[in-house]
Amino acid sequence: MEKTLVIVKPDGVQRGLTGDVLRRLEAKGLKMVGMKMIWIDKELASRHYAIHTGKAFFAGLIDYITSSPVVVAVFEGRAAVQMVRNLAGATDPLAAAPGTIRGDFGLEIGRNIIHGSDSPENAATEIALFFRDEELYEWPRDTERWISEG
């Protein structure tokens, strides 16, 4: 099964939306295999957002993601990366469809509630930044036969 990293960003935590965000992912059928609340420091933030180094918005992005605690989670399921991205909606909440997390809860691109990995390869890298192997759990979900055909 594919795994992906999800971050409920500072605005999501501060607005009390963590439960709503995680509930939507679980309701879809994705299985949570790891979760914790952390306060990201600048060094970890810089590693996580390294692809944006040198861009005009980089400093603001680092300041924002380190401004408050976040909830990081790992979800597992068929096409988990794409499923989370579909549920999250477009990066700019103004372009995000109603019914998506960003479409329902966001107003500004800089306060868009959720991060989800953009590829299985990046998911593996991101998960390793935030979780040690022993913090991820393989567990049988009794409802699996009602969620997945195989």
Catalytic positions = 115
Rg of the chain over all Cα atoms, to the nearest angstrom: 15
Alpha-carbon distance of 32 to 92, in angstroms, equals 26
Percentage helix, strand, coil, to 5, in the chain? 45, 20, 35
Side chain identity, residue 97: A
> What is the SS3 assignment for 1?
coil
Looking up tokens 């060094």 gives 43
Alpha-carbon distance of 14 to 24, in angstroms, equals 18
- Cβ 57 vs Cβ 63: under 8 Å: no
Alpha-carbon distance of 145 to 142, in angstroms, equals 7
